Each structure stands twice: as structure tokens, then as C-alpha cells.
Amino acid sequence: MKKKKTGFVFKICISLVLILAIFTGGYLFLDKKIVPKYFGKYGIYGIPDLVGVVASLYKSPNESKIVTNGFTQTDFSNAVSKLQNSGYKMNNDGSMQETEFSQFKGNISVVMTDRELASICNKFLGDGILVDALPNLNYLNIINISVLEIIITPDKDSFDGEFYTKAHVSSIMKINTTDICEQIAEQMDTPLFLLNMIIPETLYFEVAYDIDLDKQAEESAIVDASGTIAINGRSEKQSEILINLLIDFIFPDDENMNIDKFTNELGNVIVSGIETLGEFKFAGEIGSQKKQSGVFVNPLV
């Protein structure tokens, strides 16, 4: 793995040199010969692709512009209060009073808005509660992942008279890469400052997928594998090359990680957060103004 990762760092260094070389001539030669030779396997076939990747690395979006359904402290307090009233053994700061999930769960069903759910999932991530449920994401250090937003759009055709069994779920997550860079630097014996030049401190992932609860009994994963993923405010297509590079950089070969699997893993962050509370269905027209969607959770199943 060390040889592979060192080669990747070498390729990134080459890319920076090539971009500088654009301004001194040889554009056509670089565009048609050199760039495809070193980066073709990642889908980088010319100078425009290369410039786009580097631009994506260092373009961090404004959170206030990309997060449209972010949760507030009030949402978090409401969620904690609902769970406590439903019998969940939870402290006022949202931490679990019991380490065993079976002892933590409440005894009354609860309905939470998607913003309230996002605040609880974010708390679970920060407390390390989902580490065992998401082993593949431990390479990113799960406690450094933050949920900024969840938007649930129920499928109207799946309405069972009270709730919904299908929904489109989109989420925005933020990953702090400080620990990742330190870990990789140690494993590769690579200067940390070099990795900090390649990987920005913060990465934003926008993930969208469909969930069909009717398939839960048939399949081990209920997140649809045809989901989409984008990074740092870029489009899905613009993000594809960069995400593949990051996957190649972070995950070992034996994980067989690819962009579809990575999308699924990030999607399961939300699913694992809900399933920590209990079995769930999707709810619509909830919240103080009946304009939000969310989840109905039954802790007794």
C-alpha cells in the first residue's frame, strides 16, 4: 500500500508542476501526452480535467449557501426532549446513559423532523456511537464527520395510510481531514506539510439516494446503490474524478472501495443513526408549521 500511496503523491506533485508549465509553453504536448499518461486511469485526460480537480481541492463552499435545511440548537433540544419523553435513556446533552442499545431505547414511539434527526445523527457521530456500525468509514475517523443537513422527501405512492415506506434522502456532511492527513503521513513516511497541500482541511460531501423499506427484509443494505455524491459544492460529474482520487488515496486495496460503495457508506451514516433509535418509517407534514418531513421511530421492534 505504501508504494501505491507514494505514487499517488508523486502524481499530485506532477500535476502542480504541469499547471505551472502551462504558462511557459508546451500546452498541446502536456494536454495530449503527459496528462493522459499519468492520470488517464482516474479519468483525467487533459489539462482542463486536471485544472478542475485541483480547483475542487481548494474550493471550500460557504456553508450558509449550500445548507438549506440545517438544524439549530432548538431542533436539537426538541429532539432530545422527545426522546427522553419517549423513554430513551438520554442525558440533556444528547449523550446515551446506557452503553447497550437495547437498554438505551425507549418504550414509546416518537416522530422527529428531518432537522431534529440530523442533530441526533450528528451527536451520535461525534460521540463515536456509530463506529461499529460503519467500519469502512473508520479510515476517515468517524468522529471527524459532521452531519449538517438531512432532507427527507417521502414517495407519495408508498403511503400506507399513516406513514411512508419509501423516500428520497439527501444529506450534507462535513469531514475534517486533520487526523486523516496525520495518519497517512505516518503510514507513508511522507511530510505532513505535503499532504496538507494536497488535501484541504475540510471536505463537504453532498449525498442523495433512495430508501425503500419494503426491500429491507430482502437485502442487507436498504440504501439504493444508485445514489449520487458530490464534493465541495461541485456537480456530480465534476466531483467524480476527485472522489476517485481520494478513495485511492485513503482506502487500502483490500477494501475494494469505489465511488458507488463510498456513496452507499455515507448514506448508511443516516440509516445507522436512525436504526440506533429503532425501526422506522417516513413521516410527512410534521413540525410546528406542518411543512417538514421526518421519521416515525418504533423502539420496540
Q: What is the pLDDT of residues 242-253, one digit of tens each?
A: 788 778 777 888
Going by pLDDT thresholds of 50, 70 and 90, the confidence category of residue 126 is very high
- Backbone dihedral angles phi then psi of residue 201, each to the nearest 5 degrees: -65, -30
DSSP string for residues in 118-153: HHHHHHHHHTTTTTTT-GGGGGG-GGGEEEEEEEEE
Q: Which residue has the higher pLDDT, 109 or 139?
A: 109
Q: Which of 61-75, 165-179, 230-244 has the lowest mean pLDDT?
A: 230-244
pLDDT at 2 over 50: no
Q: How far apart are CA 186 and CA 125, in angstroms?
A: 25
Q: How far apart are CA 164 and CA 50, in angstroms?
A: 44
Q: What is the pLDDT of residues 156-207, one digit of tens each?
A: 999 999 999 999 999 999 998 888 778 767 766 666 765 665 667 888 999 9
- Backbone dihedral angles phi then psi of residue 269, each to the nearest 5 degrees: -60, -45
Going by pLDDT thresholds of 50, 70 and 90, the confidence category of residue 21 is low
177: which 3 cell numbers?
A: 481531514
Q: Which residue has the higher pLDDT, 135 or 7?
A: 135
Q: How far apart are CA 93 and CA 180, in angstroms?
A: 28
Sign for the CA dihedral angle at 172, 176, 179, 184 comes to positive
Q: What is the pTM of this model?
A: 0.81
pLDDT at 115 over 70: yes
| 114 closest CA partner among 283, 243, 229 | 283
CA dihedral 181, 182, 183, 184 (to 10 degrees): 50
User: Helix 114-126 and helix 259-277: axis angle, to 10°?
Assistant: 100
pLDDT at 87 over 50: yes
Q: Which residue has the higher pLDDT, 242 or 155?
A: 155
Q: How far apart are CA 53 and CA 57, in angstroms?
A: 6
If you average pLDDT over each of 118-132, 133-147, 254-268, 279-293, which comes out highest? 118-132
pLDDT at 101 over 70: yes
- Where on the phi/psi map is residue 74: left (φ > 0), alpha (ψ -120 to 50), or beta? alpha
Going by pLDDT thresholds of 50, 70 and 90, the confidence category of residue 22 is low
Q: Is the distance from CB of 20 to CB of 27 less than 8 angstroms?
A: no
